[in-house]
Homo-oligomer: A and B are copies of this chain.
């Protein structure tokens, strides 16, 4: 509902003050509405649009070069008076006449018709035109009785562009008529809207239903349907509009998927995906579609589909540039030297090096060992999933086991492929880390991916790494976790197992041991440290009651890290690799 107002009776006046202030570059206020900030040039027909307010950007948001010369602004959902329409038209008028145009509503027809009489009595050539695009409001054959809804936009746009193009008043009226003859709209509503200061909605739609054939003044739909999926709705709208195909309809169409106010762009794009496909399946070519809020109804939930069948003239005016407070098309800033993309996905892909060329024989053997280690880890974690989940559930959401399984399973496949392709440890660990992070979900996946990649980057793809290099790689991984995760040792995280592991590796490397010899005792240090995390209290990301509850239970992340370290120790014992 409309929540922000001062005196509800002054809502439109207050709105205009803010609108004119925000868009002073484009518009100036006059009694009854707004006109462009510059005078209409000699020889140019003025186009004045309007009706009640509550439809922003219709109508005052569409005043500017390439679009309307003025907009008459009535109260919310209420026709402006004839005096107001004449006032705006008088200010918009240059010397070549005025087209006044609105949607087809009794109040607008009467008041804008009177304004035309008044203007003519003052010697200003003026014509009134009413838009009738809403197929739900009167049957085929009675098109003149239909309401104007989002087709206001197609008609106003084309007539305005024709005026900008230098057509005389008769020509501009002819284009408005042609655009209206070629435009059809069908709309739906899911929920009503509330006038400023009112305590109830203008109408309601039963929960789980939608009204087909809504109006834009809070009129409910003409038929009640169960709420469809986005794809079903797209089909309903496309079918409804195409059933009303004008005579001699072309294959080129302008299309608007219009949001009424509360139905947001994300939802409109979901509907558009199907609507565009269905229209193309019917052999229509869609020309510069508009998906968004163009003719709204306060915060009404709903949308509408408009099709305007194009001839050459209408296409020229539909695609013409415009520059208004709310609608801009054809920008001064043009794409610079950049070439048009031909395969954007390829641009996004990692430029995978030919792995065998990066590595040497030793490197390839090390890569194969890494792949076997990842394979063993994935097997181990699959068995340990439930246990890790139980530990994690004491103070967390219990998904640690699942995440480790998903990550390591994906990493196993990637590592195997990289090793088979001849990659050294850097390539294999990078591939494994990438997939682990991509598939595991959650924080631990990201951290494991980073740790493996950092380790790999230090190891390189050639030769056999020294114990010092392995220790340094593990330290790089540890540093990556610190910078990414924001945790510190003692916070009851995987760091509390990793740091003792690394320190043991560093100590033994310093004493000249190979990394293979050093690994088992480092893994034991990790296990001891993981067990010791039972005495710690989590510092980050846990509410206090959960943090207290976790005392006595080791950290799941530290536990799984130690299990992985021990699995690798087992692989070292069983295999013959260096």
Contacts and interface: CB of A to CB of B under 8 A. Distances in A.
B438 A18 contact: no
Given A3-B301, A331-B331, A264 B56 contact: yes
Nearest to A88: B348
A18 B53 contact: no
Number of copies: 2
A121 interface: yes
Nearest to A56: B265
Nearest to A29: B344
B344 A35 contact: yes
Given A6-B230, A453-B117, A453-B121, A333 B323 contact: yes
B347 A30 contact: yes
Contact of A11 (B2, B117, B266): B266
A68 to B, nearest CB: 13
A29 B345 CA distance: 7
A298 B319 CA distance: 30
A484 interface: yes
Contacts of A121: 430, 453, 457
A45 to B, nearest CB: 13
B333 A276 contact: no
Given A56-B264, A453-B118, A348 B446 contact: no
Contacts of A348: 30-32, 35, 87-88, 90-91
Given A273-B14, A322-B331, A446-B114, A338 B36 contact: yes
A66 B272 CA distance: 26
B350 A333 contact: no
A269 B500 CA distance: 61
A373 to B, nearest CB: 21
B30 A449 contact: no
A498 to B, nearest CB: 17
Given A36-B335, A261-B264, A328-B328, 13 more contacts: A2-B266, A3-B190, A6-B270, A35-B344, A38-B338, A41-B336, A41-B338, A56-B269, A83-B438, A114-B450, A265-B326, A322-B331, A328-B329
6 contacts: A11-B270, A18-B268, A53-B266, A61-B265, A82-B437, A83-B437
**Interface pairs A-B: 6 shortest CB-CB:** A323-B331, A18-B269, A18-B273, A38-B338, A91-B348, A321-B333
